[in-house]
Chain A
Amino acid sequence: MSYVQVTAAQLRTYFYEQVSGNTAFFRTDEVDRILRESFRFYNCLTGYWRDRVDMGFTVAGQTWYTVPAGLTYIMRVEINQRQMDNTTLWDLDYGRPEWEDETAAAGAFPIMFAPAGSNLFALWPTPSSNTDSLFVEGVVPAPDPTAVPFINLGQSDLESILDYAEHLAQFKEGGEEFDASQLWFQDFLKKASSTNALLAHNSRWRKFMGLTDKPKRPLREAPEKVGPR
């Protein structure tokens, strides 16, 4: 992955270039907010900014853990430097209804983690030791372009984010300008789905992109009619 470094001033310049340099209609404070929202939305869709957090040690008998405050949501968990498989509460509840009671044998470790919302996760089986290290990797909040000296990101990511920023900004203009910006928004979503393939399976996303699995044919044949054909 290659990166470019962009500053807040550069981002504003790029933004204004897309909206014909209209600095009166789009104030600096507003542009900063639009850029901030664009970065956040892109990060929500793609999980672009990530980090690894040391959670210390497991607690014997404790099944539920709180996701570290610095992470938006978790993607991967390691216990004693062994990766854990991910599962869901639904799978655990319906597959092993008494899973919360199952504790790892002495010397053994939990083998699965199940996220609950974005703020909790459960370990199965429950740890039996206070000395197993616990590391969590996940998505962190997108950087605020106005609060850091510069941001590292790929050139194509930058272009996508600016596409979305323009779409957001054009809401104010309304009319044809806003309609035209839907194309930028679709480009942005397309790029996001190339980074996060799960999006392409999302029905809302597919609907917005005009994609459908439904065959384009009438549900029933047209009735026969009397007369010339």
Chain B
Amino acid sequence: MSVTDTDVIKDITYRVLENGDADATGTTLLTDMFTITGIVDSMNRVQQKFMIDTGMVLTRLGTSIPVTVGNGRYDLPTDNSAVVRVSYTDFQATTEVTRALTPTDTWELDTAINLWPSGADTPITWWQTTLAQQRLGIAPIPNNVGELNLLYVALAATLTGAGVNLSRRA
């Protein structure tokens, strides 16, 4: 099912009585109380919030993030909006092992694992609390090479008012 931004603008136009004595066009309004740009901006904000709040459409990262020994912090994809799930594939285990990492924060790590930033072991958790934006940490610090597999909410399609489909499943 496809819904375009123009469809939504028309719906809004009717609801706020801005169509006058004609069908809503999606490009013009009766008065200057609202503007099409204002409506489109609002739609973009609401759409993005809806995507994050519901996790309705998830993206699996096509190319996994390579993990190197001793490095516990990695860049996230540029279209990432919210990380939902992380798993780690350990390449040097006896047999390659993929394991789901559980979310945590630095308070838990600081309290539960003494000197966790300097130790090295198989990662079992992921965290973001004190990192810069679009960064992800894993703990303990990996002692093997491997890769991170992400399931995340991607940025929603940018609506322009020119008939762009709202974000949806592929």
Contacts and interface: CB of A to CB of B under 8 A. Distances in A.
Interface of A: 27, 29-30, 33, 37, 40, 64, 66-67, 69, 72, 89, 92-94, 97-101, 116-120, 141, 171-172
Contacts, number: 72
A138 to B, nearest CB: 12
Given A97-B99, A100-B100, 11 more contacts: A27-B19, A30-B19, A69-B170, A94-B100, A97-B102, A99-B100, A117-B56, A117-B84, A118-B56, A141-B1, A171-B15
A119 B58 contact: yes
Contact of B151 (A37, A40, A116): A116
A37 B15 CA distance: 13
Contacts of B7: 33
Interface in B5-49: 7, 10-11, 14-15, 17, 19, 23-24
Given A30-B24, A116-B58, A101 B100 contact: no
24 contacts: A30-B19, A33-B11, A37-B11, A66-B170, A69-B169, A89-B85, A97-B99, A97-B102, A98-B98, A98-B99, A99-B100, A100-B98, A100-B99, A101-B96, A101-B97, A101-B99, A117-B55, A117-B56, A117-B57, A119-B58, A119-B169, A120-B60, A120-B151, A172-B17
Contacts of A118: 56-57, 169
Contacts of B55: 117
Given A27-B23, A29-B23, A64-B60, A119 B151 contact: no
Interface residues on chain B, size class: 20 to 34
A20 to B, nearest CB: 18
Contacts of A64: 60
B87 A119 contact: no
A47 to B, nearest CB: 14
A119 B168 CA distance: 9
Contacts of A67: 169
B1 A98 contact: no
Which of B10, B14, B58, B84 has the most chain A CB atoms closer than 10 A to its own CB? B14
A100 B19 contact: no
A5 B151 CA distance: 43
Contact of B100 (A69, A72, A93, A141): A93
Given A64-B60, A72-B1, A172 B169 contact: no
Contact of B85 (A40, A66, A93, A99): A93
